[in-house]
Chains A and B, each alone.
Chain A
Amino acid sequence: MDQSNNTYAVEADQLVKAFGKERAVDGISLKVPKGIIYGFLGPNGAGKTTMIRMLATLLKPTEGQAKVMGFDLTKEADDVRQAISLTGQFASVDEELSGRENLVFIGRLVGFTRKEARARADELLAAFKLEDAAKRQVKKYSGGMRRRIDIAASIVTSPELLFLDEPTTGLDPRSRNEVWGIIRALVKNGTTVFLTTQYLEEADQLADLIGVIDRGVLIAEGTSAELKSSIGVRSLIIEFADEHDLNKAAAIFAGMFTQAPEVNREHLSISVTMKDQSKAAQAIGELANQKIAVKDFSMQQPSLDDVFLTITGKPAKQEGGEASGE
């Protein structure tokens, strides 16, 4: 039991958080090895924020227990706080103050002298490309700058475990890539990152291990590849040079596969899903027999969207759900 403390950043055992009758988190057990990015994926209201707030000592679990960086969540909350940092979904810095003031403020709180806190603030502002905005009030920052100052405030002292609640919700693609870059750099330097997201692509791109949560329950866990292969469906995508070939191929495939092929006329391509991969070779062979020219073809892993659909029976809410909190 004891040596497990050295390998896991988070060990949750049947955690429950109930608000009145509603069980926002309903018995979640999970283990997050140190040094990885753990992606907690689920739609709005699934219980992601509640889980992260429990693990960051902000909410007392109704039932169950957890160890964070080897410390008991309820009995050793102070030790947990010493090891972690939290970037909440909403304002996690003081919007009325400037970016620099916020960082100096946090620096002083974590124990730096005034001089050290200022030096650290300037170092972080430079690293996060916020020097020009250092003296501006945070409420005047753009979305991407806001996120960067939020994260900078979380690593004034490098935490061993960083919680990020929907770090890229509402960001434009460029800002999102910057945040991803920061997260990857943090992990490279030994920080464990536990992030929540409602974007399948984000979990796919970023997380080493993904937990899928729906209505307070962990419904699947694994690497992105594992989750995809667990549903065992792959797609073959074939591109054609002209519409004539496309139509002929579509007619052939309609007889070959149980599931109807998807025809994309704009890209002159056909996509067919199959459980048995050997069928792909068969399909290509058949096209050659019929003398239909294939411009290009590829096998595609199913997307996490497919995973979500398979497990929950409903598609994940992508985009649009502008963070209603939970």
Chain B
Amino acid sequence: MENNSLEKSITLEKRPSKASPMNAALTFAWRALLRIRYVPEQLFDVTVFPIIFLLMFTYLFGGAISGSTGEYLDFVLPGILVMTVAMITMYTGLDLNKDIEKGVFDRFRSLPIWQPAVLVGALLVDVVRYSLAATIMVTLGYILGFRAEAGFAGVVLAVLVILFFAFSLSWIWTMLGIIVRSEKALMAISMMLLFPLTFLSSVFVDPTTMPNWLQHFVDINPITFVVDAARGLIHGYDVTSELLIITYISVGLIAVFGTLTMYFFRNKN
């Protein structure tokens, strides 16, 4: 190994100035995109998953709940949109957990960079993934006969609200991804939280048909607010108060779980 190129390569004098937080985050996002290029199957959860969900629930429940699948589709599409995106946020935590287990995280944490960039970069790409899922569902919905009262603009607004909420929700999974020791355990915890949150909401049915005690839970479930807001934006009725509450919840989630995530990230054993 006594070669000149080795000697030369290790006598680098110039040390670049620290990467900006923005550049560091974008570099991590670039890495996530590269990984998708190598393993495109990673996109199954945001492509195949939404299609199955939409077809399954529309044709399974449509007749029973609304009398016709066409009418039910208009009702349920905003709901399933929220549910699917909420469900796939948990993969953020799983990916992070795998990174940590493999050891490459030690390298990131020992680099002189703005530390949250590791997570922010990954989340940026996740938002792209969520958008992909939303786009696929809306397109399929239109093909199946879904019509938005407020037009396409309403759909776009609803998707933006969902993405914002999903980004905030992701911080719960990043925190769990760091502190939970195995992928399996993490999967179990995520499911345990997500199933009640998504099903015990206004995603599938009008909450007024539920027993009282259940309504109380559904009424304070954040997913219900997001579903109601999405429905309102898509079908054109006023949801200002829901949007306000979603903003509070989302900012709260980022503040609490973003802080906790960074705390555990820095103090990981």
Q: Which stretch from A178-186, A200-208, A234-242, A306-314 is at the chain B interface?
A: A178-186
Give complex CA distance A129, B8 in Å: 14
List, in ascending order, chain B residues with CB within 8 A of A90's CB: 102-103
Which of A39-47, A53-61, A216-224, A292-300 makes up part of the contact surface? A53-61
How would residues 89 to 127 of chain A score, 1 for a CB under 8 Å from any chain B CB and 0 otherwise? 111111111000100011011111000100010011011
CA–CA, A74 and B17, complex, Å: 22
Which residue from A96, A109, A124, A191 sits with its C-beta under 8 Å from B113?
Answer: A109
Q: Which of B24-32, B45-53, B75-83 contacts A (4 or more CB under 8 A)?
A: B24-32
Q: How far is the CB of A107 from chain B (nearest CB, A)?
A: 8
What A residues does B9 contact at CB under 8 A? 123-124, 126-128, 155
B16→A116 contact, CB < 8 A: yes
Tell me which residues across on chain B come within 8 A of A112, comparing CB atoms: 16
Which residues of B in the span 161-215 have a Cβ within 8 Å of any Cβ on A? none
Assuming A94-B31, A185-B1, is B12 touching A58 (CB within 8 A)? Answer: no
Chain B, range 64-110, C-beta contacts under 8 Å to A: 102-104, 106-107, 109-110
Cα A93 to Cα B34 in complex, Å, equals 14
Which of A101, A177, A185 is within 8 Å of B34, CB to CB? A101
> Contact: A84 with B5, CB < 8 Å?
no
Q: Taking beta carbons and an 8 Å cutoff, which residues of A are in contact with B?
A: 19, 53, 56-60, 78, 81-82, 84-86, 88-97, 101, 105-106, 108-112, 116, 120, 123-124, 126-129, 137, 153, 155, 157-158, 177-178, 181-182, 185-186, 189, 191
Name the CB-closest residue of B to A177: B1
The interface of chain B, by Cβ under 8 A from chain A, is: 1-3, 5-12, 15-19, 23-24, 27-28, 30-31, 34-35, 38-39, 102-104, 106-107, 109-113, 267-269
Instruction: Check B34 against A92 for contact (C-beta < 8 Å).
Output: no
Residues on the A chain within 8 Å of B34, using CB: 96-97, 101
Q: Which residue of A lies closest to B121 (CB)?
A: A109
| B6:A108 contact, CB within 8 angstroms | no
Smallest beta-carbon distance B53→chain A, Å: 28
Q: Which residue of B lies closest to A92 (CB)?
A: B107
A185 pairs with B10, CB closer than 8 A: yes
When chains A and B are docked, how far (Å) is the Cα of A53 from the Cα of B110?
9
B12 CB contacts on chain A under 8 angstroms: 120, 155, 157-158
- Nearest CB of chain B from residue A82's CB, rounded to whole Å: 4
CB pair A56 B38 closer than 8 Å: no
